[in-house]
Structure 1
Amino acid sequence: MTRQRIFAGSRLRQLRAERGLRQAGFAAKLGISTSYLSQIEHDDRPLTPALLDRLQKLFPLEWEEVAADAGDRRAGALREAAADPLFAAAPIAPEQLERAALQQPQLADQFVALHAAYRRAGQRLQIIDEALTGGTAEGSRLPWEEVRDWFHDAGNYVDRLDRAAEELAKGLRGASSAPSPSPSPAVEAIERRLQGGLGISIVYRQSESLRDFDATMRHLVIDPSQPPESRRFQLAHQLAALALADEIAAVVEASPLRTAAARQLLHVGLANYAAGAVLMPYTPFRASARAVRHDIDRLRLEYGVSFEQACHRLSTLQRPGARGIPMFFCRVDMAGNITKRHSATRLQFARFGGACPLWIVHEAAAIPDRILFQLAETPDGLRYVSMAKGLVKPSGSYARAPRRYAVALGCEARYAADFVYADGVDVDAPQAAARIGPSCRICPRDDCDQRAFPPSDRPILVDPDRRDVVPYRIG
């Protein structure tokens, strides 16, 4: 079996131009000579396994698209699995991985599958441990917990619904009377589809509800005290719930959720998901995100959405063959409760109890409208770059307190070059990263000054004659 040689000269030249690099600078980053790079760019030489590995590490987003056949994808998946810190003590050379993918494809596939199962088992063990220590048995999850875990298991990406929402958005933009530079449908186009296409009457009136729809009378009430982007999202939700009713119903029907309440919550969650996909259609939004290096403020202005909506949408860009950066996203209230979360990365959030107090999102909750940055390292040795911002959502009335919370968005440090918030930060500096964990109950660190309580799986040692920051040592 002979491996197909990869010639990617034009893609290398394009990548170099996008980064504003000369041949000498680009060659230095790749660890090769300028003359060798010139030969590769003119397709006189193919890419070697070592160079492919280097390109994938330096430019993971761009280089995912170069893998054209199953063999290349297999080698890429094998390199990704072998990069786990679990194997850091005895790293496998790129040439060996390439040879394994070529000569033992079934073994390579099984290795990748086994690694994925290992990760899922670790996450599942974390869920069970936290459920037991938090007083919630695995078999008695509340409906909202079932739905939260359903989205997590789905990777926070629902392909059928996402593609249908993208087509709906194209139709809305095509039907618009005035051309718009934004790929996001205008609020007037959404209103016209609801009114003319679906026979819905719309009224903007002060209400106790943000959105109130009477299905019998075909009447929709929107509270105008919401910010413009929130009103637009409520309209998009109602349009998605009606126009994509069959797609949403099919997903709900196929779900394993046990209770009627959980299935109803999933229906609402899917309509919200579809609304975000209508306002931020997958293909143009992914392209925009990459063009501005995931600058949230530029994205929210281009698409007319809120800061939180843009962050959430970035965490859903996991379409096979056109993935975005694997992101984690969460929302934390003033009490430290994680009220919304998703991770397409290896970072997993605590499902019960509070998050790590060293995480920057807690500080952001107390400082609204200011973006904070953090380089963090988890107990497995992986580093992440993240931003957090405190937000205030007005209530529209003195009688109701505004909602105050913070959102956080981040990715593994290897994607730092595509994450604008990491500019100027040396992500490899030994002492630069904050040492965070998932939650105190399952964090293995035994030297953390911020512990609220000891880990649930290890004994504690108490010395009456000695007092450190915490009154015990971990055995």
Structure 2
Amino acid sequence: MSTRRRLFAGERLRRLRETRGVRQADFAATLGVSASYLSQLENDQRPLTTALIERLAELFPLDWEDLGTDRAERLTVALREAAADPLFAEPMAPDQLARIVEQQPALAERFVALHEAYRRTGQRLEMVDEALSADNAGGARLPWEEVRDWFHVANNYVDTLDRAAEQLAQHLRGRAPSPSVEAIEHHLRSALSISLIYSGQSGLRSYDAEMAHLVIDPGQPAESRRFQLAHQLVSLALRDEILGVVEEAKLPNAASRQLLFVGLSNYAAGALLMPYEDFRRTARELRHDIDRIAQVFGTSFEQTCHRLSTLQRDGARGVPFFFCRVDMAGNITKRHSATRLQFARFGGACPLWIVHEAVAVPDRILVQLAETPDGLRYVSMAKGLVKPSGTFERPPRRYAVALGCEVRHAAEFIYADGLDIASGRNVTPIGLSCRICPRADCDQRAFPPSDRPIAVDPDQRGVVPYRFG
């Protein structure tokens, strides 16, 4: 049997309690130990037990990751996550998981790897199935679908670019949270010899590589202008890093590779304006209050939401969020999920999801407690947005963005404060889309699921004119 290293974490355990403003007795009750025992733990008179390690990982997953756990503890947490998949009837007890990691670590690692492979294979099968079901007789993915799927498989995090952009931001921003417009403009002009003009005659952004001439539309909102500048800066300053990722992606055609280059430049621009470590820390301190985070970094509501969905760096992960953008017709035009919720890849989302109401009511934040068919519950926040065009001749863009997490992270998400998480009252049952949703009693169903036979009784009529198995 292997020998586990005893973990003393008194100072960090105390800091975890104090940052939440919780008394020692109340924190002890939460952990299921006595106040005197907690005092001994906080003073490093006793090490954490396996049961307490599991309890901390369950209650405070992000803080526990920050405690610098060793390989055995990290493997235990990963095994717990895999064993909790809805595929299995019941999760395994913490002591069982700890014994498996102690006695059969190689088996535990293989189980975690197999579960990850199973999850990824399921996602790829959905991609193929949905491509065949879409208006694409050949089943081949279009370039934008290939790029979207690449980001999905990469978990919407690109470590090479994220760290390079963070380093560049450190050079540009000084003591400010984020590089200013002036700092970006100065770097473009002085370091990259780019001439810069603000004019509304060439689209949102136009760059002439031969003349080293950049034109930015001044009619965009300030946050959008700054993002366009950042995009051009990273696409030049980090060009080798971006091309390296594009080459490794091995996408099959030139259009896909070019779209990936643009997508990676956008990703790096977000990482430049919202540097990983400072952004993650600020987001947690503000409990992911989007408007307040956006004020700190000078970013838009959408840019901030999108960045929160990318915080997947090993050893410093953020809350696993899902993020999407929905247009007035219900089409999902951006999507990513670091949670177990996966969006339908073609067509719109479930009409019961709060994001559709948000599209119709701009500048108001809506919150929802939702449950998917697998029994998992999520806290969703959605806001309708209007992006001005800068001219009467072109209508403004109207859409909504949504951000959400599993209820186990509700304490980290300020938008969950008004919801009755414990009782589960007012839970909205949602699906991914009617095409794959198994719910038989949904009043908003548009058509039956594609994998179920239907039965029609001319003498009986419910909300829909059929029943399915």
Tell me the secondary structure at the aligned position of residue 450 of structure 2. coil
How far 1:29 moved relative to its partner?
1.1
Matches within 5 A, 1:349-364: 349-364=343-358
Structure 1 runs (4+) deviating above 3 angstroms are none
Tell me the secondary structure at the aligned position of residue 372 of structure 1. strand
Unaligned regions of 5+ residues in structure 1, if any?
175-179
Is the Cα contact below 8 Å between 1:165 and 1:281 reproduced in 2? yes
Within the alignment, does 1:232 sit opposite 2:233 as a pair?
Answer: no
Within the alignment, does 1:195 sit opposite 2:196 as a pair?
Answer: no
Distance 1:139 1:472, change over 3 A: closer
2:131 — aligned with what? 131
Tell me the secondary structure at the aligned position of residue 131 of structure 2. helix
Unaligned regions of 5+ residues in structure 2, if any?
none
**Matched residue type, 1:409:** L
Distance 1:241 1:91, change over 3 A: closer
Task: Please identify, of 120-129 and 13-22, the stretch whose mean Cα deviation from structure 2 is larger.
Answer: 120-129
Tell me the secondary structure at the aligned position of residue 140 of structure 1. coil
Is the Cα contact below 8 Å between 1:368 and 1:390 reproduced in 2? yes
1:435 — aligned with what? 429
1:415 — aligned with what? 409
CA distance in 2, matches of 1:314, 1:449: 33
Task: Please identify, of 226-235 and 109-118, the stretch whose mean Cα deviation from structure 2 is larger.
Answer: 109-118
How far 1:13 moved relative to its partner?
0.4
Q: State the identity %.
A: 71
2:464 — aligned with what? 470
CA distance in 2, matches of 1:17, 1:117: 39
1:160 — aligned with what? 160
Distance 1:2 1:280, change over 3 A: same
Is the Cα contact below 8 Å between 2:132 and 2:139 reproduced in 1? no
Is the Cα contact below 8 Å between 2:120 and 2:153 reproduced in 1? no
CA distance in 1, matches of 2:86, 2:24: 33
Task: Please identify, of 422-431 and 286-295, the stretch whose mean Cα deviation from structure 2 is larger.
Answer: 422-431
1:411-458: CA deviation from partner (whole Å, max 9, x where unpaired): 111000000100132223244321111111111112211111111111
Within the alignment, does 1:209 sit opposite 2:203 as a pair?
Answer: yes
How far 1:183 moved relative to its partner?
1.5
2:271 to 267, 277, 282: 277
1:156-203: CA deviation from partner (whole Å, max 9, x where unpaired): 1111111110111111124xxxxx5x3101110100100011111111
CA distance in 2, matches of 1:190, 1:379: 47
1:177 — aligned with what? none
1:169 — aligned with what? 169
Within the alignment, does 1:143 sit opposite 2:143 as a pair?
Answer: yes
Within the alignment, does 1:372 sit opposite 2:373 as a pair?
Answer: no
**Matched residue type, 2:108:** A
CA distance in 1, matches of 2:307, 2:325: 13
Is the Cα contact below 8 Å between 1:190 and 1:239 reproduced in 2? yes
How far 1:67 moved relative to its partner?
4.6
How far 1:311 moved relative to its partner?
0.4
Task: Please identify, of 119-128 and 445-454, the stretch whose mean Cα deviation from structure 2 is larger.
Answer: 119-128
Is the Cα contact below 8 Å between 2:359 and 2:398 reproduced in 1? yes
**Matched residue type, 2:426:** A
Matches within 5 A, 1:298-447: 298-447=292-441
1:220-265: CA deviation from partner (whole Å, max 9, x where unpaired): 1111000111111111011001101111111111112111111111
**Matched residue type, 1:289:** A
**Matched residue type, 2:316:** A
Matches within 5 A, 1:105-116: 105-116=105-116
1:68 — aligned with what? 69
CA distance in 2, matches of 1:91, 1:330: 30
CA distance in 2, matches of 1:373, 1:231: 30
Computed over aligned residues only, the root mean square deviation of the Cα atoms, in angstroms, reads 1.3
CA distance in 2, matches of 1:118, 1:429: 33
CA distance in 1, matches of 2:137, 2:35: 61
CA distance in 2, matches of 1:463, 1:335: 33
CA distance in 2, matches of 1:428, 1:463: 41
1:267 — aligned with what? 261
TM-score (norm 2): 0.97
CA distance in 2, matches of 1:446, 1:67: 46
Is the Cα contact below 8 Å between 1:211 and 1:220 reproduced in 2? yes
CA distance in 2, matches of 1:117, 1:268: 29
CA distance in 2, matches of 1:389, 1:339: 15
CA distance in 2, matches of 1:134, 1:319: 34
Distance 1:329 1:137, change over 3 A: farther
Is the Cα contact below 8 Å between 1:130 and 1:441 reproduced in 2? no
